[in-house]
Structure 1
Amino acid sequence: MQSLSRALTVLAELNREDRPYGVTELAGTVGLHKSTVHRILVTFCEHGLASRVDDHRYTALDGLAALRRTTDGRRGPERALADLGDRLGRLVVLAKPLPKMAGRVLQVSAVAGSASAAPVEPGHAVSLHRSALGRAYLSALPADQVTGTPDLLVTLQRIRVSGFAHNSRPVASLPRMVAVPVRDNDGRCAGALGAELIQAGSIEEVRRVVSVLRSGV
């Protein structure tokens, strides 16, 4: 029962404030070794109790309610994503904002297929301004809620018109991708769906992939 007690202690501390926590900070607060806290946090992420912001920071999700949603809905979204990956024959990535940091932090939520470049895994951070996933997401937010350089704002306006974003080179762990916004049942931006681009610069490929992605949104 000691391991359960440790996990509950970490979970309580993680939920104490509405912000990300560093592994070192949590370990010092609860009096556990950093490697123990890290293992607990990874388990929380796997079960929908926490989410990784970057390599060393984590934030709490919606507790047991999130756990129930993750368990109940696991087969549906994952199956749909796998079907898209099969149709396209390449990596497909779903990215979503952290619930408490919408509009500011985006991360990989689910992955299907395999990338030709570095592996992409759930929890990986997604660049809002540089990646196709990030820009597709930002383009679907209300314009008055998005700030950035003049070049970024012009790019987002073009994406709003075309309905998709793409990047011609890898960004962090993500390969070249094309992405479209994902909206919830109320029409609000809920994330972005993207697929790897195999033929760099091929507008025919971009159009085909975008068409398939839109069928899965």
Structure 2
Amino acid sequence: MPKGKKAALVAAMELFSEDGFDGTSTVDVAKRAGISQATIFKYFHTKQDLMLAVVRPVMEHFFPKYRDEFFAGIARQKTLTEMVHFMVTDRYAFIKGNEEAVKIIAMEMMTNADMRELFGKLVRSNDFDFLGELLRNFRETGELRDDIDAAGLVRILGGQLAIYVIQSSFTPVLVHGKDEDLKMIAEQVVRTIKK
């Protein structure tokens, strides 16, 4: 990858995660990257193209590889409690390990139709039924409540983690310690979804 293109991508990722897509100009990106604005437009026709170039690799390439590792980890768990604990700690590690890209994706999903479409394609992939496979693993324990469907399971787990990530970032006074908090989150989820 050419040096100027790489510098633009790194600077854009930092700035989009700090100030949001709308709060960042290509002039800001050029200044942070130490390149000209013309260099940015040489590689990316629009600011939107630049943003998609930042997040697309995480969504398209890293996610499928990680998806396989994630489901292999779930399959190793024998009980509903073990699965929930694995998911909570694994997803938290994923979010923290990709914090800038996850922040950009989350912000842009709210307002950007292209981002929602890209994410939707990954979730609805013809080669893998993410939600169906997740629910199947949880049902195999025999412990999941009958009225919990795949979307509900994701909302319960994702909601707990999302709130915790927001708390730890913006109101750290509410955080007791990562390990203690993740254990408590897992216990709360289990109480909610277990028969």
TM over 0.5: no
Q: Which has the higher helix share?
A: 2
Q: Which has the higher strand share?
A: 1
State TM-score, norm by structure 2.
0.34
State TM-score, norm by structure 1.
0.32
Task: Determine which structure has more spread, i.e. the larger CA radius of gyration.
Answer: 2
